[in-house]
Amino acid sequence: MTNIYTFSAKNLDGQTVNLDIYRNQVLLIVNTASACGFTPQYRELETLYRTYRNQGFAVLGFPCNQFGGQEPGDHETIAEFCRSHYQISFPIFAKIEVNGENTHPLYRYLKSAAPGAFGTTGVKWNFSKFLVGRDGGVYKRYGSLTPPTAISGDIETLLKA
């Protein structure tokens, strides 16, 4: 059975991280951007992370520049922005593509496991979210308009499972 534990991604330091290190955790995987109208969601994502991390929860941020060029910076710029503006302590990975020919394999899996509205698979914009259960399978997909804190109930359900 395919799940997120079979994938890896580079972190902002360029090191490959096997997502198996998150085995048995509940994860919220988000494509992020520093210059988007939804960028303030970083604040709520950090709140969720700090609230639930000791219960086996993590937020994984994946910067993406495919929507309006809203993540143009290099890895150092992204890391500095996240620290200085939002005091982000959850893992931020290297910039990836979430749609198109060069879609990161993790996102190919996430989109196929949890299609969007009317069965569409493409990510529509920055700050789309995928909630993953402890088994590594996708539980639910949320669009950019869903505030991270609105997902709290689903996170708590998965943490108790």
Residues annotated as catalytic are: 36
Closest among 13, 32, 8 to 130, alpha carbons compared: 32
| Other C-beta atoms lying within 10 Å of the C-beta of residue 50 | 14
Provide the b/e sequence for 130-148 (b: ≥16 CB within 10 Å): bbbbbebebbebbebeebb
| Other C-beta atoms lying within 10 Å of the C-beta of residue 87 | 11
How far apart CA 105 and CA 114 sit, in angstroms, is 14
